[in-house]
Amino acid sequence: MPAVQETIEQVRSIDVDQYKYGFVTDVEMEKPAKGLTEDTVRYISAKKGEPEWMLEWRLDAYRRWLTMKEPDWARVSYDRVDYNDIYYYAAPKMNAAPKTLDEVDPEILRTYEKLGIPLREQEILAGVQTSRVAVDAVFDSVSVATTFKAELAKAGVIFMPISEALREHPELVRKYLGTVVPVTDNFFATLNSAVFSDGSFVYIPPGVRCPMELSTYFRINEKNTGQFERTLIIADKGSYVSYLEGCTAPQRDENQLHAAVVELVALDDAEIKYSTVQNWYPGDAEGRGGIYNFVTKRGDCRGRNSVITWTQVETGSAITWKYPSCILRGEGSRGEFYSIAISNGMQQVDSGTKMIHLGKNTTSRIISKGISAGRSQNTYRGLVSAHRKASGARNFTNCDSLLIGDRCGAHTVPYIESKNASAVFEHEATTSKISEDQLFYCQQRGLSAEEATALIVNGFVKDVLQKLPMEFAVEAQKLIAISLEGSVG
């Protein structure tokens, strides 16, 4: 049976090592000196041509950051980051703001081509893809291209790099920036506030249903560089938007820091769907290299009957520290969190959500599926709280963990706080292992051990996959299969 032998060899050679997006793009970059001082902050702000108030905002954040300590409560261990040994800004040398794709370095365009991210509108319109998605492509510290801007503008939708929004719509940015994740929220968010370089800005006007999916694609390319992106999405009264972010990075031996902040604001009757397919480089089989993904994501259901839904598929990063949360302020507002977190190799995941019920009759729903393989550790950490005034608050939480093999760990740490007697919180949790019996049963029907594992895992995460926009669900499903290759046998 030589064919099968070949398959076995192939599967053996695959581990977390085989990361499909690990290539490096060779492009000339401009960077300030390594390390972080007030000058670094000024440098970034000047590069972006920001208004004075923005520089002051950043400097204030920087000064506060100096007094803060890196948090250590998460169930992850790693060598602390030397904040003076990284670059805080790295931009491809090119025109300050490329007007058309022809002005973008062809090497960078090729990078996105290789990653399968469509940046040429005409090709998309030519019908290569059935559904259209507007993309903002962020390469290290700057946005290199944003598609469908004109068409979106017709609907009144603003979709542009946040650095551009600071110049073109300063009043909107100023009104909302830092109102969901305050400057001093936490160590990484404060750092981000001081040095954030780019990210996306979205504003949907009242009553508008955004005519297409919006997405941002983050790529860390440069060595020893941190990526600090900032995303701000505002859905005005009665509007709707669905947004997706994707991320990859080259394979490198040293760790790289990614400390992003995402803020969502939903006003009365507005709805925001935010989906993430996170596939940062996870490090090699021995745990060398990989991205430290220390991210603060929070949505504010500020208006009555507003809805914010977080859906995430997390397969990458050496360490994940991330809790996309909802503040349920508006009466009758709803927060949802659907998560699939897969860890393999030496990955460590500490992720979950916070649902903070402040308003009356607010509801929230948490469905979390954690899958651990290899020697990884996977922790769900979640907070559900009801404020004194949150009468009639309801939450349903379901956390399931699946273990593959016997060297990994799954942990569930739920926190529940209720200060209102009428709040009803439900929590369900299960931990299971793919049983030898299930695997044997599937193999007896002709599936290989890998195919059987992928099938069982896909069954396990089905509820959450269904929440992703159609075109990404397929991608996510493939990603899950790749992430788990080599985890059995």
Interface residue list for another protein (CB under 8 A): 1, 4, 435-438, 440-449, 451, 455-456, 458-463
Shortest reach from residue 435's CB to another protein, in Å: 8
Rounded to the nearest whole angstrom, what is the least distance from the CB of residue 459 to another protein in the complex? 3
> Cβ 345 to another protein, closest distance in Å?
24
In the complex, the smallest distance separating the C-beta of residue 452 from another protein, rounded to whole angstroms, is 8
Provide the residue type at 245 as one letter.
E
In the complex with another protein, the residue whose CB is nearer, 413 or 455, is 455
Residue 249 region by backbone torsions, left for phi larger than 0, else alpha for psi between -120 and 50, else beta? beta
Cβ proximity to another protein: between 10 and 443 the closer is 443
CB of 4 to another protein, least distance (A): 6
Q: How far is the CB of 479 from another protein (least distance, A)?
A: 17
Largest CA distance in the chain: 71
Structure tokens at 337: 């969190």
Residue 411 pairs with which residues in a beta bridge?
379
For another protein, give the closer residue by CB, 184 or 477: 477
How far does the chain reach from its first CA to its final CA, in angstroms? 18
Beta carbon of residue 448, minimum distance to another protein (angstroms, whole number): 5
Based on CB atoms, which residue is closest to another protein, 100 or 444? 444
Closest by CA position to 27, among listed 99, 110, 83: 110
Q: How far is CA 370 from the centre of its chain?
A: 16
Q: How far is CA 488 from CA 349, 367, 373, 427, 448, in A?
A: 20, 26, 8, 31, 10
| Choice between 362 and 372, CB closer to another protein | 372
Q: Provide, rounded to whole angstroms, the least separation between the CB of residue 484 and another protein.
A: 15
User: Given the complex with another protein, which of 145 and 454 has the nearer CB atom?
Assistant: 454
How far is residue 418's CA from residue 300's CA, in Å, rounded to a whole number?
19
Nearest to 199 by CA among 149, 235, 159: 159
In terms of CB distance, is 7 or 84 closer to another protein? Answer: 7
Radius of gyration for the alpha carbons in the chain, expressed in angstroms and rounded: 22
Measured distance CA(62)–CA(488) in Å, rounded: 46
| 200 vs 483, beta carbon nearer another protein | 483
Rounded to whole angstroms, how far apart are CA atoms 114 and 136?
Answer: 16
Closer residue to another protein (CB): 217 or 460:
460
Rounded to a whole number of angstroms, the minimum distance from the CB of residue 487 to another protein is 17
For another protein, the closer of residues 142 and 313 by Cβ is 313
Minimum Å gap between C-beta 438 and another protein is 5
CB closer to another protein, 18 vs 448: 448
Nearest distance, CB of residue 274 and another protein, angstroms: 24
116: left (phi > 0), else alpha (psi -120 to 50), else beta? left
